[in-house]
Amino acid sequence: MFCNQCEQTAKGSGCTKIGVCGKNDDLASLQDLLTHAMQGLSLVAVEGRKVGIVDNEIDRFALEAIFACLTNVDFDPQRFQQWISKAVSFRETLTTRVAAAGGKSEFDAKAASFTPGANLAALIAQGKELDFINSLDDNEDLRSLKQITLYGIRGLAAYSDHAAILGKENESIYTYIYQAMAEMTNTGQPLNELVGLALKCGETNLKAMELLDAGNTETYGHPTPTEVPLGAKAGKAILISGHDLRDLELLLQQTEGKGINIYTHGEMLPCHSYPELKKYSHFYGHFGTAWQNQAKEFPEFPGAILFTTNCIQKPAETYKDNVFTTGLVGWPGLVHIGSDKDFSPVIAKALELPGFTADSDKGSVLTGFARNTVLGVADKVIEAVKSKAIRHFFLVGGCDGAKPGRNYYTNFVEKVPQDCMVLTLACGKFRFFDKKLGDIGGIPRLLDVGQCNDAYSAIQIAVALAGAFECDVNDLPLSLVLSWYEQKAVVILLTLFSLGIKDIRLGPSLPAFISPNVLNVLVENFACKPVAETPEEDLATILG
């Protein structure tokens, strides 16, 4: 196997024997094969669009099949077997329809004629045979740009899938994904063309994130500042992890009146701030921190645990019988709740387990500072900047990993001067989410914008501030100090680049799939840089 798509990749270069995430050689081969099959389907879908053939069932499948290859999402080989077979069968039926409509139906690329092996072992052998990453291009820089684009597309597919679940789709997203996946079957393109393809991924993702924002806020209302308890309430309990608001809503509905309290873990924390979710009285608090601490925290949870999306880790024997998955997340041997979203097995498990025997108070955190709330006090914020009560804004966040060295972000936030604000989002915030940073003129200094899924909200805040100050976003007293871990972060970074945002600091290490020449392109055009050894160094440079 060879996989280097995430920040924790082995030795900072690539996982070759087993993934640090737990993905084994067989699963890596199946993911490569599914990506290959999706390239074949994409080639036909591109031609289909030229003759007016658009099939929403295929489009929705494409998002799921691509999202499933994101780090820490699905570890179940059987599901990959099904997706591979479905990708090929969709390709075949679509080819027939395209040919009947007079479109192109014959292709040189092997991906368009790939026939899947008859069983799992045969598929794994086919996946190994591909040597997928190396086959992208012999040229290191072109291969690097294709990897950036492919990982960006995985992030884009994830956000687009979340939005589609809430009824928000846009043709431009599907068109881009198919065109880019098809383009990657070619080799030797001019470097600039592939830089353009990668930036277009970021631009397309802005649309996806706007749709997701609209899906979330139109369905559940605009987040409002909300205090979330970190302790527990006596009673039966279910912990929900991942990012999916619809799954949470359905779980809340199905548990109403059953004497079960619902707790969030990781990226689900901001869900407490949505009016249509917080109205449920049994939606209680936040348990523990974020995904990378699941092995330490889940054995302590006395109820059932539901994973809605990324990031799952191998469940230890001590708690594996309590864990359920739904949507695209999966782990072999765990009970998976299908598309009927009947959470009865989760509820039965919660009722069987002891739950919390007593109330406990562990303090609370504030969340819900998405764009509507922050822009609601824009006048106050602008006045505070003009009067120099607020010197600078830092956006500190992004997705977090399990590797040591990420304390940089905790230390950074601790050292931010008192006259500066910290906006945060995604699971990176759990490095400092419970710190009491006080306020500036009544505005809390630490503002949680939401999940990584809410990056659009943070972008809108920056754009609105730039409008108010009549300047470019790059001229605002705002610095982005981001952590990255997986491919949703890759696509958000591409989105920021496509918006022309400069001087982003990225850590804790730079992606292994960026070649030195491609890094130079990013540095020259966007002045993107790695975080310094210490937060003090970065703070001194930024604040001058």
Binding site for hybrid [4Fe-2O-2S] cluster, by residue number, is 243, 267, 311, 399, 427, 452, 486, 488
- 364 vs 57, 264, 284, 367, 433, CA distance in Å? 43, 13, 11, 10, 10
365 binds ligand SF4 (CB under 6 A): no
Degrees, nearest 5: CA angle 487-493-498: 130
Tell me the closest approach of the beta carbon of residue 70 to ligand SF4, in angstroms.
Answer: 8
Binding residues for [4Fe-4S] cluster: 3, 6, 15, 21
291 binding partner (options ligand SF4, ligand FS2, none; Cβ < 5 to 8 Å by kind): ligand FS2
H or E element, residue 439: strand 439-440
Output 148 or 465, the one with its CB closest to ligand FS2. 148
35 binds ligand SF4 (CB under 6 A): no
Buried b / exposed e over 423-447, threshold 16 CB at 10 Å, is bbbbbbbbbbbeeebeebeebbbbb
Binding range to ligand SF4, per CB under 6 A, among 2-10, 220-228, 229-237, 266-274 = 2-10
* 485 CA to centre of own chain: 9
311 binding partner (options ligand SF4, ligand FS2, none; Cβ < 5 to 8 Å by kind): ligand FS2
Task: Say how far apart CA 303 and CA 94 lie, in whole Å.
Answer: 46
Question: Which of 29, 35, 42, 71 touches ligand SF4 (CB under 6 A)?
Answer: 71
Token representation of residue 98: 């395209």
Question: Which of 16, 20, 104, 499 touches ligand SF4 (CB under 6 A)?
Answer: 20
Q: Which class for 532: exposed (0-12), middle (13-18), buried (19 or more C-beta within 10 A)?
A: middle
Summarize as ranges the residues that interact with ligand FS2 (CB under 6 A).
243, 266-267, 291, 310-311, 399-400, 426-427, 451-452, 485-486, 488
Tell me the closest approach of the beta carbon of residue 19 to ligand SF4, in angstroms.
Answer: 3
34 binds ligand SF4 (CB under 6 A): no
Task: Say how far apart CA 429 and CA 280 lie, in whole Å.
Answer: 25
In this chain, which residue has its C-beta nearest to ligand FS2? 399
Contact 544, 36 (CB under 8 A): no
30 binds ligand SF4 (CB under 6 A): no
With CA atoms as reference, report the closest residue to 373 among 307, 470, 274.
Answer: 274
Tell me the closest approach of the beta carbon of residue 469 to ligand FS2, in angstroms.
Answer: 30
15 binding partner (options ligand SF4, ligand FS2, none; Cβ < 5 to 8 Å by kind): ligand SF4
Token representation of residue 213: 């924002």
Tell me the closest approach of the beta carbon of residue 357 to ligand FS2, in angstroms.
Answer: 29
Output 67 or 178, the one with its CB closest to ligand FS2. 67
105 binds ligand SF4 (CB under 6 A): no
- 500 vs 56, 204, 240, CA distance in Å? 32, 14, 36
Q: In this structure, are strands 364-367 and 226-229 parallel, antiparallel, or unpaired?
A: antiparallel
222 binding partner (options ligand FS2, ligand SF4, none; Cβ < 5 to 8 Å by kind): none
Output 7 or 249, the one with its CB closest to ligand SF4. 7
**Concatenated DSSP letters for 347-370?**
HHHHHHS--BSS-B---EEEE---
Whether the bond into 508 is cis, omega within 30 of 0 = yes
Token representation of residue 464: 């609105």
Binding range to ligand SF4, per CB under 6 A, among 6-14, 214-222, 457-465, 470-478 = 6-14
Output 27 or 473, the one with its CB closest to ligand SF4. 27
Helix (H, G, I), strand (E, B) or coil at 481: strand
Binding range to ligand SF4, per CB under 6 A, among 17-25, 57-65, 259-267, 536-544 = 17-25
266 binding partner (options ligand FS2, ligand SF4, none; Cβ < 5 to 8 Å by kind): ligand FS2
Residues at the site binding ligand SF4, with contacts judged by CB under 6 A: 3-6, 8-9, 15, 19-21, 23, 71
